[in-house]
């Protein structure tokens, strides 16, 4: 069983510049930008570029077409005509797109400064990796609290799924600590998602040693699919044969939603 997740997509604009970028960090929130007054020409260029990029890149072509139709219908009714704030225009477009797509990853963001072309992806240097690992270690790789509650119940307050190559030792330590508890509560109420590889790693501790297909990520640009499976081997003790409860909230999002889905439907 698998689920097809929409590509994580954001649309940003500075003046009339529009590009689509992914959001990578768990619960990532861009800094608030100074507002800017926009005119009809800017609104028109932004509008047409959003529709064009959706048709080119959005993971579901039929949904992209519906979003374009919805935006054109609103424009024909002059719903955007009185908007002169760049920030408000971004918010309005986001709301209108999400009303059709129901995809909270899809959003329009405003940048006060022109956005440079995105550089080619490259592997981080050893120094960059070490710096990022130090930064993530300060928040314990998302593990806010791990404890044994009365009644021998394990509890994990987990805030974000960070890269497993950085946090795998912490994950192993967490499950080693929890291994003698009789049941486990995983609290994702403040978890905004993150790296699908970390989702797969933590699921690996809760499933058996036989690999389980969890999910696919599909990129329409390049027609590329990436599969995610549980791992046959893990560094710590697996937590199997016991009850596991997952706490969620309206903040729980993206990778945290997938994790909850995996445990509910695939275990």
What pLDDT was estimated at residue 10?
41
CA distance 207 to 261: 14
Neighbours of 28 (CB within 10 A): 14
Q: Name the band, by pLDDT with cuts 50, 70 and 90, for residue 23.
A: very low
Inform me whether the pLDDT recorded for 193 exceeds 50: yes
What pLDDT was estimated at residue 31?
59
- Its pTM stands at 0.75
What pLDDT was estimated at residue 229?
97
Which residues, in sequence order, are CB contacts of 130 under 8 Å at separation 6+?
none
Inform me whether the pLDDT recorded for 204 exceeds 90: yes
What pLDDT was estimated at residue 267?
66
What pLDDT was estimated at residue 24?
42
What pLDDT was estimated at residue 16?
33
What pLDDT was estimated at residue 256?
96
Show the 3-state SS of 11-72. EEEECCEEEEECCCCCCCCCCCCCCCECCHHHHHHHHHHHHHHHHHHCCCHHHHHHHHHHHH
Element (H, E) at 166: helix 164-178
In three-state secondary structure terms, 7 is coil
What pLDDT was estimated at residue 6?
36
Sheet of strand 224-229, all strands in order from the earlier edge strand to the far edge: 4-5, 213-219, 224-229
- Tens of pLDDT along 91-148? 999 999 999 999 988 999 888 877 777 666 677 788 888 898 899 999 999 999 999 9
- Tens of pLDDT along 24-77? 444 445 556 788 899 999 999 999 999 999 999 999 999 999 999 999 999 999
Domains along the chain?
A: 4-110 (no CATH), 133-265 (3.90.226.10)
What pLDDT was estimated at residue 128?
85
Q: What is the mean pLDDT of residues 80-88?
A: 94
What pLDDT was estimated at residue 188?
98
């Amino acid at each position: 069983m698998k689920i097809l997740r929409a590509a994580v997509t954001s649309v940003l604009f500075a003046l009339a510049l529009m590009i689509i970028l992914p959001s990578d960090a768990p619960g990532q929130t861009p800094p608030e930008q100074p507002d800017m007054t926009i005119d009809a020409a800017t609104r028109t260029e932004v509008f047409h570029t959003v529709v064009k990029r959706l048709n080119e890149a959005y993971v579901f072509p039929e949904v992209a077409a519906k979003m374009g139709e919805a935006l054109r219908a609103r424009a024909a009714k002059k719903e955007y005509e009185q908007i002169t704030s760049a920030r408000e225009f971004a918010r309005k477009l986001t709301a209108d797109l999400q009303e059709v797509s129901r995809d909270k990853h899809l959003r329009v963001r405003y940048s006060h400064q022109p956005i440079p072309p995105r550089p080619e992806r490259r592997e981080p240097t050893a120094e960059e990796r070490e710096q990022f690992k130090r930064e993530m270690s300060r928040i314990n790789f998302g593990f806010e609290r791990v404890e044994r509650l009365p009644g021998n119940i394990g509890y994990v307050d987990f805030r974000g799924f960070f890269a497993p190559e950085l946090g795998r030792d912490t994950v192993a330590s967490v499950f080693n600590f929890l291994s003698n508890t009789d049941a486990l509560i995983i609290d994702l109420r403040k978890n905004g998602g993150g790296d699908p590889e970390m989702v797969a790693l933590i699921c690996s501790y809760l499933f058996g040693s036989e690999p389980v297909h969890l999910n696919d990520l599909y990129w329409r640009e390049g027609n590329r699919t990436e599969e995610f499976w549980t791992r046959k081997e893990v560094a710590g003790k697996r937590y199997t044969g016991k009850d596991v409860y997952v706490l969620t909230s309206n903040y729980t999002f993206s990778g945290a939603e997938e994790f909850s889905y995996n445990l509910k439907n695939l275990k």
